């Protein structure tokens, strides 16, 4: 496997005295924790990981139709998964319709109602809580329309309440852990961290609590502030909050982690106004979907050092394969994509994380 320059630097950069590393002291440095973090980050930064998903399954069924109900197509993660579903549907020979919920409760409920009324072969719940459309979900279940979620519930795999054939997502525990481990490894076990979350979203709050727990395994990593900025208010509040934190913590603030990349788009003007360099410190990692704008900030070293992206196109193909298993009376595949970290050193100018091998594997399974 390819070991990137960034990964190699983690192995040798832990004894320096810069913001990216510090020598051992009695108060921190956490050599054993740091060693595990370094190993995890090196694995997650690999870009030539062989396909570890399903290689067997039912041949393609024919004449199927899907409706992808999107929380909002403005959300890059939701839109990226929809793109993957469309690509895979063309490959297997099915029809797909996307209905945009426009990001409002009323819009999402109307979109789900329309989807059920169309009586498709299957419905994708794209990035919203199925409980927010419980009546429509119940109707689909009663009519025998299989539902597959993308980031619909907290855990990957089948769900009984709500009833989903499966839910496609990475494990929140893996995303949270690797985000914190990147900070531990990058800082050499000595960091002052600001953690940004949206406590109004249970999934996001859970993720940030897991990040905080993992950061706490290294005594030399200090959580300076745990900021609650609702995503809906991020464009208005983030710049002011960042300016306040910069005045408060000054040089003690070396790293940041946010539950979604979008916070760093809104934070950039405040960092710039304060005269901070785009390459850091603070060194910022987004534990989010890995949208194109995040990749652009990472690649250009403009106020974001890393992102933990979802393989959105792959997940769209997986959704189609899972439907094919449902239509064939087979169980869900159980596949969960491994966690990945993208940095300027390993992304090679890409604007998404799109591992290799999955399209060929799924086409072989389907006989297409």
* Res 203: pLDDT: 78
- pLDDT of 297 higher than 50: yes
Buried b (16+ CB within 10 A) or exposed e, 150-173: bbbbbebbebeebebbbbbbbbbe
- pLDDT of 24 higher than 50: no
* Res 202: pLDDT: 74
* Res 2: pLDDT: 42
CA torsion through residues 295, 299, 301, 305, sign: positive
Average pLDDT over residues 246-261: 96
Which of 19-23, 95-99, 120-124, 145-149 has the lowest average pLDDT?
Answer: 19-23
Average pLDDT over residues 234-246: 95
C-alpha to C-alpha distances, 46 to 52, 242, 306, 319, 325, nearest whole angstrom: 14, 32, 14, 24, 30
3-state SS, residue 257: strand
Is pLDDT larger for residue 56 or for residue 204? Answer: 56
Percent of the chain at pLDDT exceeding 70: 92
Average pLDDT over residues 62-69: 98
pLDDT-based confidence at 28, cuts 50/70/90? low
Percent of the chain at pLDDT exceeding 90: 82
3-state SS, residue 195: strand
Indicate the average pLDDT of the chain: 91
- pLDDT of 29 higher than 90: no
Residues 304-363 pLDDT 10s = 999 999 999 999 999 999 999 999 999 999 999 999 999 999 998 999 999 999 999 999
Closest CA to 345 of 42, 39, 12, 102: 42
Residues 84-137 pLDDT 10s = 999 999 999 999 999 999 988 999 999 999 999 999 999 999 999 999 999 999
Strand partners, 3: none
- pLDDT of 52 higher than 70: yes
- pLDDT of 81 higher than 60: yes
Average pLDDT over residues 10-31: 45
Distance (Å, rounded) from C-alpha 287 to C-alpha 299? Answer: 16
* Res 313: pLDDT: 97
- pLDDT of 21 higher than 70: no
């Amino acid at each position: 496997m390819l070991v990137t320059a960034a990964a190699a630097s983690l192995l040798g950069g832990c004894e320096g005295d810069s913001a990216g590393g510090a020598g051992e002291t009695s108060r921190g440095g956490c050599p054993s924790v740091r060693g595990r973090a370094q190993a995890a980050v090196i694995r997650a930064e690999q870009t030539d990981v062989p396909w570890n998903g399903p290689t067997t399954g039912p041949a393609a069924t024919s004449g199927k139709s899907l409706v992808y109900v999107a929380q909002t197509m403005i959300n890059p993660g939701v839109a990226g998964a929809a793109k993957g579903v469309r690509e895979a549907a063309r490959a297997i020979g099915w029809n797909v319709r996307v209905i945009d919920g426009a990001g409002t409760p009323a819009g999402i409920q109307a979109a789900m109602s329309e989807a059920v009324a169309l009586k498709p072969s299957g419905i994708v719940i794209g990035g919203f809580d199925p409980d927010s459309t419980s009546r429509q979900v119940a109707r689909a279940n009663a009519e025998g329309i299989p539902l597959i979620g993308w980031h619909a519930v907290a855990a990957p795999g089948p769900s009984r309440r709500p009833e989903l054939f499966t839910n496609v997502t990475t494990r929140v525990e893996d995303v949270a852990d690797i985000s914190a481990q990147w900070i531990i490894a990058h800082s050499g076990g000595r960091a002052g961290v600001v953690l940004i979350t949206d406590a109004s979203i249970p999934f996001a709050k859970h993720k940030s609590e897991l990040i905080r727990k993992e950061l706490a395994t290294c005594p030399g990593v200090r959580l300076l502030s745990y900021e609650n900025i609702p995503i809906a208010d991020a464009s208005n509040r983030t710049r002011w909050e960042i300016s306040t934190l910069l005045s408060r913590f000054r040089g003690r603030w070396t790293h940041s982690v946010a539950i979604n990349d979008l916070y760093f788009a809104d934070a950039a003007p405040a960092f710039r106004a304060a005269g901070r360099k785009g390459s850091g410190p603070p060194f910022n990692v987004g534990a989010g979907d890995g949208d194109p704008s995040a990749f652009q900030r990472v690649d250009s070293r403009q106020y974001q050092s890393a992102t933990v992206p979802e393989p959105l196109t792959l997940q769209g193909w997986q959704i189609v394969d899972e439907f094919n298993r449902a239509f064939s009376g087979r169980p869900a595949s159980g596949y969960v994509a491994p966690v990945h970290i993208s940095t300027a050193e390993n992304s090679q100018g890409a604007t998404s994380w799109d591992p290799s091998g999955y399209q060929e594997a799924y086409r072989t399974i389907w006989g297409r």
